[in-house]
């Protein structure tokens, strides 16, 4: 039934006995004869990844990722590129067959069909359907790109290698395929991604490298040395070459900074051992491409990264082999990476031979709905931060909520909590969040994890059994907010057994006080010193535990969970608070639980954010946090014994607390202090306060939600009750205006300060009721469209 629902006649196929081969690429092509004005669609499911073409024109990349044993079906509209007569449809499928955080280790297959309306014109498994060929240009035995992702890309090419995609008479060494068994198919569930081509804006530098054996120790990451029974890939002795070693053998001999504008039609001429560094202007994520012409055999590398180190690209900066390798025989090549990558700077190096590179571009792989929202204020700092937040979101949300589009491309919990808010603010719907939760709902179990535990990121393979126990608690907290955004009670109820089994898992870790003690695996709070204080009783984790119990109690109307939550809070208050700060942990000594003197900034934010503390009950600590902590603490060195928080996630919790308790002006100013330098350097927002890790991290897009709520003033939207709350705050900003998509409609709001008062105008979808709260200290005058109903006002 599932098969028939998504495909009329296509069946899953793959070359015989090759479905478990590592890093194998298979090309499929077929022909459709039709009129030019015919509406054609391509329906496709695959493992592991594919890209598709019609008549040589790029159509798309996929699939949207689903959970173990389930495959999402993408539908692509081919109509724009249909020719009169015969049309060639080509699909490349890469079967990786190794475990990762990025894609699942499941047998390779392709199931695809082309339809004109409901009529199937071409299908896999049909007698006259798609034909297949092994594509041997991609070098198989290569190292992994990172610990979290699959293989680097390296190619050995001859001119015309890709002609099979656009020329029906081109050579295509056919190989027989067999059916690979019925697949459990599910809808894509999210919008098709956007593939805008972007060109570099400038040539940053030109220079030369020298070929010589590296004198230091070669880079030996766990992704290279750790391959074995639990961790898939090719062992070092089996590699065709070690790409990271080859690049180490090409140190820069000389370089000059040129910073010349680079137009779309400009080319980059590279003699032997020459390179050029190009600047995209901001971080972009997608497929690196360009046309390369060479008169003799050429070895070409492309390295890339989000930032520069000493005016050069450090392709190993944060644990990735950010590089492509091409061996090119004489000829002209249209190159485009199969995998998406993230970069601001790309470095093209002719290590051997010489070449001309023209039409350099990145084909973006980005969310198509994130451009609907608009925000503009009288504070240019905030405008820049909003756009950086939007850019961060669109690159991290193509099929699920990713932590970063570079090193991992993984769907992490906790990150998803922040991104769920940003998604609703930017897109006006919860499609991606629903698909994200659905991935956790559908599998019968999660291999290699204890019963009841949720994966820390998913879809992913955790063969080593590693998980973050407290990250599963963020899942519960996000689930409650998802219900408020979506009204999707059906998914909530379906998730209840999984949530109850999660709490059953934690039962065996409760100590005599009802707190979680000696949690297994990787207990993680944020990227700071606090991660060293997670045993035996970690109080921030227990604060989160209490909040998740309360969230589940409210979702499922279970009083016992609410009561247990309050008991946990009370025990933490009694044990952890030392009169000045909350202590991070207690250790078990001779059977007794003894609190340490370890205290961190993030611990204080956990306490206030999750309800263990509040400004009324802890006024002195709150005053200290408000006035002595924050971005200025680096300069004042206040409380050096309280370990500093990081961007992920402490600084964001701080900003949320400031806004929650009415310190909106301070929250806005601190947002600029924390984030503006990131926006200026990469156009995206970072994982840490420094540029030593991901400079494009999904959770950080949360700031768009904060700016819409606290600056624009759209404080709360309840799409179920169709109510909207405006809250105008006391800000040193002259005006703000914005547009928020909302279902099939939108909300438009603008306000400005005029002659000692605040004037606003709002348009909302029909039937929405509007509540207005005025915290500006100024008279408020508003105009609303006729469809809006003003049902409450305050100080207006």
Which structural domain, as residue segments, surrounds residue 595?
374-686+693-712
Q: At 219, list the tokens.
A: 């880079």
Q: What is the CATH number of the domain that holds 744?
A: 2.60.420.10
Distance CA 441, CA 729 (A): 40
Phi, psi of 766 (to 5 degrees): -55, 135
Task: Judge contact between 141 and 237, C-beta under 8 A.
Answer: no
In tens, the pLDDT along 607-649 reads 999 999 999 999 999 999 999 999 998 889 899 999 999 999 9
Residue 796 has pLDDT above 50, yes or no: no
Q: Is the pLDDT of residue 794 over 90?
A: no
Cα–Cα–Cα angle for 64, 395, 313, rounded to 5 degrees? 120
Residue 33: the pLDDT is 96
Instruction: Using the predicted structure, report yes or no on whether residue 354 has a pLDDT greater than 60.
Output: yes
**For residue 784, what pLDDT is reported?**
83
Q: Do you know the residue count of the chain?
A: 796
SS3 331: strand
Q: How far is it, in rounded angstroms, from Cα 218 to Cα 786?
A: 69
Kindly report the CATH number assigned to the domain that includes residue 555.
1.50.10.10
pLDDT at 635: 87
* β-pairing verdict for 355-364 and 537-538: unpaired
580 pLDDT band, cuts 50/70/90, is very high
660 and 757 belong to one structural domain: no
Nearest to 476 by CA among 521, 445, 440, 442: 440
CA-wise closest residue to 398 among 366, 372, 441, 424: 366
Whether residue 584 contacts residue 598, with contact meaning beta carbons closer than 8 Å, is answered with yes
SS3 sequence of 538-596: EHHHHHHHHHHHHHHHHHCCCHHHHHHHHHHHHHHHHHHECCCCECCEEEEECCEEEEC
Taking only the tens place, the pLDDT of each residue in 489-519 is 999 999 999 999 999 999 999 999 999 999 9
Q: What integer is the mean pLDDT of 446-463?
A: 98
Tokens 């190989």 correspond to 175
Residue 6 has phi, psi (to 5 degrees) of -105, -25
Q: What distances in angstroms separate CA 524 from CA 473, 535, 596, 656, 692, one per listed residue?
A: 12, 11, 18, 20, 19
* 151, part of any domain: no
Give the mean pLDDT of the chain.
96
- The structure tokens 């070459």 sit at 241
Instruction: Say if residues 476 and 502 touch (Cβ distance below 8 Å).
Output: yes
The answer on 541 and 644 residing in a single domain is yes
Comparing CA positions, the residue from 63, 18, 145 lying closest to residue 459 is 63
How many other C-beta atoms are found inside a 10 Å radius of the C-beta of residue 77?
13
Residues 671-708: pLDDT tens digits? 999 999 999 999 999 999 999 999 999 999 999 999 99
Longest distance between any two alpha carbons in the chain, whole Å: 83
Domain final position from 344, 364, 384: 364
Q: CATH code at 78? A: 2.60.120.260
Residue 229 lies inside a defined structural domain of this protein: no
Measured in whole angstroms, the distance separating CA 669 from the mean position of its chain's CA atoms is: 27
Q: Which residue has the tokens 């000493």?
A: 310
113 in a domain, yes or no? yes
Q: What is the pLDDT of residues 236-292, one digit of tens each?
A: 999 999 999 999 999 999 999 999 999 999 999 999 999 999 999 999 999 999 999
Do 295 and 379 belong together in one domain? Answer: no
Which among 263, 264, 273, 265 has a CA at the least distance from the CA of 206?
A: 273
As a whole number of angstroms, the distance between CA 682 and CA 695 comes to 7
| Residue 235 counted as domain residue | no
Q: Are 55 and 90 in contact, with CB atoms under 8 Å apart?
A: no
Output the CA angle 697-702-706, nearest 5 degrees. 150
Tens digit of pLDDT for each residue in 72-115? 999 999 999 999 999 999 999 999 999 999 999 999 999 999 99
In a domain, 243, yes or no: no
Answer yes or no: do 400 and 540 share one domain. Answer: yes
Beta bridge partners of 41: 77, 115
Residues 394 and 457 in one domain: yes
Displacement of CA 379 from its chain's centroid (Å): 28
C-alpha–C-alpha distance, residues 392 and 115, integer Å: 36
Give the position of tokens 């991070």.
584
Q: Count Cβ neighbours within 10 Å for each residue of 712-734 and write b for 16 or more, e otherwise.
A: bbbbebebeebbbbbbbbebebe
Residue 238 inside a domain? The answer is: no
User: Is pLDDT at 791 greater than 80 in this prediction?
Assistant: no
Res 785: pLDDT: 73
In-domain check, residue 434: yes
Query: Which region holds residue 683: left if phi is over 0, alpha if psi is between -120 and 50, else beta?
Result: left
Is the torsion defined by CA of 49, 11, 32, 193 positive or negative? Answer: negative
**Strand positions, DSSP E, 659-766:** 714-718, 723-728, 735-742, 745-754, 757-763
237: buried, middle or exposed (CB in 10 Å: 19+, 13-18, 0-12)?
A: exposed
Which pLDDT belongs to residue 2? 39
Tell me the DSSP string of 613-652. Answer: --TTTSHHHHHHHHHH-STTHHHH--STTSBPP-IIIIIH
Looking at the structure, do residues 380 and 336 belong to the same domain, yes or no? no
Q: What is the pLDDT of residue 790?
A: 54
**Strand pairing partners for 757?**
754
Say yes or no: 179 and 203 in one domain: no
pLDDT of residue 786: 58
Q: How far apart are CA 291 and CA 295, in angstroms?
A: 14
Q: What is the pLDDT of residue 518?
A: 98
Cα separation, 235 vs 38, in Å, equals 50
Of 346, 364, 382, at which residue does a domain stop? 364
Q: 359 and 378: one domain? A: no
Query: pLDDT band for position 4 (50/70/90)?
Result: low
Q: Which two tokens stand for residue 512?
A: 């005599």
pLDDT of residue 3: 59
Work out the end-to-end distance of the chain between its first and last CA atoms, rounded to an integer number of angstroms.
Answer: 58
- Region 301-315 average pLDDT: 98
Nearest Cα residue to 68 out of 26, 27, 99, 89: 99
Last residue of a domain, one of 364, 382, 407: 364
Residues 576 and 670 both lie in one domain: yes
484 lies in the same domain as 582:
yes
Domain count, the chain: 4
Q: Are residues 288 and 390 in the same domain?
A: no
In a domain, 150, yes or no: no
What is the per-residue pLDDT for 789? 56
Same domain, 495 and 360: no
- Whether the Cβ atoms of residue 546 and residue 565 lie closer than 8 Å to each other: yes
Percent of the chain residues topping a pLDDT of 90: 96
Q: How far apart are CA 509 and CA 476, in angstroms?
A: 18
pLDDT for the residue numbered 252: 96
Instruction: Single out the residue of 634, 632, 612, 637 nearest to residue 622, CA to CA.
Output: 612
């Amino acid at each position: 039934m599932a098969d028939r629902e998504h495909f009329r006649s296509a069946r899953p196929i793959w070359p015989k006995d090759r479905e478990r081969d590592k890093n194998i690429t298979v090309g499929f092509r077929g022909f459709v004869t039709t009129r030019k004005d015919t509406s054609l669609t391509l329906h496709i499911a695959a493992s592991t990844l594919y890209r598709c073409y019609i008549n040589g024109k790029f159509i798309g990349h996929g699939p949207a990722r689903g959970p173990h044993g389930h495959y999402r079906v993408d539908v692509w509209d081919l109509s724009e590129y249909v020719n009169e007569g015969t049309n060639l449809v080509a699909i490349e499928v890469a079967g990786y067959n190794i475990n990762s955080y990025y894609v699942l280790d499941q047998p390779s297959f392709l199931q695809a069909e082309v339809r004109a309306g409901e009529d199937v014109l071409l299908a896999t498994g049909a007698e006259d359907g798609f034909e297949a060929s092994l594509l041997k240009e991609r070098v198989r035995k290569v190292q992994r790109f990172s610990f979290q992702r699959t293989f680097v890309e390296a190619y050995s090419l001859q001119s015309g290698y890709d002609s099979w995609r656009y020329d029906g008479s081109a050579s295509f060494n056919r190989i027989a395929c067999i059916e690979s068994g019925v697949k459990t198919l599910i809808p894509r569930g999210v919008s098709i991604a956007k593939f805008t081509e972007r060109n570099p804006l400038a040539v940053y530098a030109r220079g030369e490298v020298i070929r010589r054996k590296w004198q230091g120790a070669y880079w030996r990451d766990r992704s290279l040395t750790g391959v074995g029974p639990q961790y898939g890939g090719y062992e070092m002795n089996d590699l065709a070459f070690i790409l990271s070693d080859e690049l180490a053998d090409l140190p820069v001999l000389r370089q000059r900074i040129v910073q010349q504008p680079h137009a779309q039609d400009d080319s980059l001429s590279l003699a032997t051992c020459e390179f050029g560094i190009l600047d995209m202007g901001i971080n972009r994520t997608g497929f690196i491409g360009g046309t390369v012409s060479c008169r003799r055999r050429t070895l070409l590398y492309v390295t890339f990264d989000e930032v520069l180190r000493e005016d050069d690209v450090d392709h190993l900066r944060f644990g990735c082999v950010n590089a492509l390798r091409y061996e090119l025989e004489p000829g002209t090549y249209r190159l485009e990476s199969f995998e998406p990558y993230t970069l601001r700077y790309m470095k093209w190096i002719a290590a051997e031979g010489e070449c001309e590179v023209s039409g350099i571009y990145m084909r973006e792989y980005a969310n198509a709905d994130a451009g609907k929202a608009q925000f503009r204020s009288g504070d240019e700092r905030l405008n820049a931060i909003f756009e950086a937040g939007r850019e961060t979101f669109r690159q991290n949300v193509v099929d699920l909520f990713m932590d970063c589009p570079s090193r991992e491309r993984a769907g992490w919990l906790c990150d998803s909590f922040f991104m769920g808010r940003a998604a609703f603010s930017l897109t006006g719907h919860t499609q991606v969040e629903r698909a994200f939760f659905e991935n956790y709902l559908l599998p019968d179990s999660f291999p290699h994890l204890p019963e009841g535990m949720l994966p820390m990121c998913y879809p992913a393979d955790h063969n080593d059994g590693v998980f973050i126990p407290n990250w599963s608690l963020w899942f519960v907290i996000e689930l409650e907010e998802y219900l408020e955004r979506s009204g999707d009670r059906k998914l909530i109820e379906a998730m209840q057994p999984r949530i109850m089994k999660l709490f059953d898992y934690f039962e065996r870790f409760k100590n005599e006080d009802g707190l979680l003690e000696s949690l297994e695996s990787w207990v993680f709070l944020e990227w700071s010193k606090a991660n060293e204080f997670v045993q035996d009783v970690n109080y921030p984790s227990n604060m989160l535990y209490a909040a998740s119990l309360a969230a589940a109690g409210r979702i499922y109307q279970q009083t016992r969970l609410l009561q247990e939550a309050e008991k946990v809070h009370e025990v933490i208050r009694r044990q952890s608070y030392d009169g000045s700060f909350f202590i991070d942990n207690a250790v078990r000594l001779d059977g007794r639980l003894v609190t340490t003197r370890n205290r961190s900034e993030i611990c204080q934010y956990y306490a206030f954010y999750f309800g263990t503390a509040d400004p009324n009950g802890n006024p002195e600590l709150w005053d200290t946090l408000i006035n002595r902590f924050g971005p200025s603490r680096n300069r004042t060195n206040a409380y050096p014994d309280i370990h500093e928080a990081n961007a992920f996630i402490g600084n964001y919790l701080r900003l949320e607390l400031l806004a929650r308790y009415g310190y909106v002006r301070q929250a806005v100013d601190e947002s600029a202090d924390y984030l503006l330098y990131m926006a200026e350097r990469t156009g995206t927002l970072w994982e840490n306060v420094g540029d030593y890790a991901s400079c494009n991290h999904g959770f950080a897009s949360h700031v768009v939600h904060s700016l819409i709520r606290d600056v624009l003033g759209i404080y709360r939207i309840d799409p179920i009750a169709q109510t909207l709350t405006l809250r105008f705050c006391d800000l040193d900003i002259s005006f703000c205006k914005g547009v928020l998509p909302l279902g099939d409609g939108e909300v438009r709001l603008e306000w400005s300060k005029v002659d000692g008062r605040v004037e606003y105008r709002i348009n909302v979808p029909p039937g929405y009721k509007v509540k207005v709260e005025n915290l500006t200290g100024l008279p408020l005058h508003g105009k609303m469209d006729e469809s809006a109903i003003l049902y409450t006002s305050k100080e207006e």
